[in-house]
Amino acid sequence: MTQLDLRGDDRVLHVAWPDGTSADFPFLWLRDNCPSGFHPQTQEREFDLTGIPANIAVTQASVDDGSIVLTWDDDGHVSRYDPAWLHGHRPGIGLADPARIEPVLWRGDLAPESLPRASADSLMSRDDALLEFLIETKKTGLAIVDGMANDEDAGMAMARRVGFLRETNFGTTFEVMSKPNPNNLAYTSHALPLHTDLANQELPPGFQFLHFLANEAQGGGSTFCDGFAVANDLREDDPEAFELLSVTPVPFRFQDEDYDIRRHQLVIDLDPFGNLQELHFNAHLAGIFDLPADRMEAYYRAYRKIMQMTRSKSHVMTTRLESGEMVIFDNRRVLHGRTAFDPNTGFRHLRGCYVDRGEFDSRIRVLSRKKTG
């Protein structure tokens, strides 16, 4: 049976569950999260936190018919909580989230055959297959869909099954092929060193979907590298370089006739908990570094070091994608590139689009919800 102990001096309710776990719940937190304060349909909070005194306290606490029942001292309001709900929301443990999936780091020895892979048919028609595939894709940050229809819109249809598309200055979808008057190196036949797309954007796009409609030219192989593994290894090998890359903003820029989009970014971006959040790495979009002269050389040393790592066999995975395949990767984690191709030897045409991380995670949560209930 759940045990309650009202600790008025500490302004907490101590709860001990039958499984041996226990936690302290601050009074204000309990009042703020009283189930009666949420709209029953939308589950949004309607309770006004400024309408209660800051020193609000519980006068009575009991377990009644399986619920924890509290009475409040300001207006006599009675709150009822499910002990299992409180257990799942113990302060300090972090909220449960089906989309919180730890990245599994990989390096150059990852065989392309062992990447997560699924058929377009199964992903388009089965929610359980889609959920499993999205979870695996989130772990590696890189996956392949095969059996794609020879239809220019098939990649977008698949991406839309995950979430709405992220539009950019290149459109809602973009054609990667050798074009006259290219506004982007991707639209030439040149090699593209490993990079993340659109590092110049305020928020670079999340997951990239690249459908290989044709890859018949000589060359045009694909390269990938796990930026989180690179950053992780750099942190161990050369903490000074890691530190510089994670605190020094540098400029990125894209410009053509219609746009001039610029942003300073950290090459290695950590979240407030110190975990790797994303990489911004794109040598062709890097602007003119504007650091003070006395910090330039140290920064260049660090920048060249990570650049060398993105070219080393120990981190880079090389493969060749064929028409009918689509690669999906987290553009804010996994760097991608290609070898040069000869447009005179055959046609090469990729069609790409993006779905941001937030929508990707949302699909994982909603599909998990269906699975459990």
Q: What is the closest distance, in whole angstroms, from the C-beta atom of residue 179 to Zn ion in the complex?
A: 15
- Of 200, 224, 361, 189, the closest CA to residue 280 belongs to 200
Measured from each CB, the residue nearest to ligand OGA is 186
Half-sphere exposure of residue 305, counting CA atoms within 13 Å on the CB side? Answer: 22
The reply to whether 336 sits near ligand OGA by the rule CB under 6 A is: yes
Q: Which does 166 bind (CB under 5 to 8 A by kind): Zn ion, ligand OGA, none?
A: none
222 binds ligand OGA (CB under 6 A): yes
User: For the purposes of burial, counting CB atoms within 10 Å of the CB of 283, is it exposed (0-12), middle (13-18) or buried (19 or more)?
Assistant: middle
Binds 279, which of ligand OGA, Zn ion, none (CB < 5 to 8 A, cut-off by type)?
Answer: none
186 binds ligand OGA per the rule CB under 6 A = yes
Task: Decide if residue 226 touches Zn ion (CB under 5 A).
Answer: no
**Pick from Zn ion, ligand OGA, none: which does 176 bind, CB < 5 to 8 A by kind?**
ligand OGA
Smallest CA-to-CA distance from 269 within 292, 289, 286, 246 is with 246
Q: Is 330 a residue that touches Zn ion (CB under 5 A)?
A: no
Does the protein bind ligand OGA through residue 326 (CB under 6 A)?
no
Residue 350 found at the interface with ligand OGA (CB under 6 A): yes
Distances, alpha carbon 306 to alpha carbons 128, 136, 240, 262, 310, in Å? 38, 27, 12, 22, 6
Contact 196, 342 (CB under 8 A): no
Nearest Cα neighbor of 192 from 341, 30, 84 is: 341
Of 133 and 212, the one with the shorter C-beta distance to ligand OGA is 212
Q: Output the CA torsion sign for 319, 321, 327, 331.
A: positive
Which residues, other chains included, contact 86 with Cβ-Cβ below 8 Å and sequence gap of 6+? 15, 23, 25, 68
For residues 150-179, which are near ligand OGA according to CB under 6 A? Answer: 176
| Interaction of residue 192 with ligand OGA, rule CB under 6 A | yes
* 197 forms part of the interface with Zn ion (CB under 5 A): yes
Residues interacting with Zn ion, by CB under 5 A? 197
Residues interacting with ligand OGA, by CB under 6 A? 176, 186, 192, 197, 222, 336, 338, 350
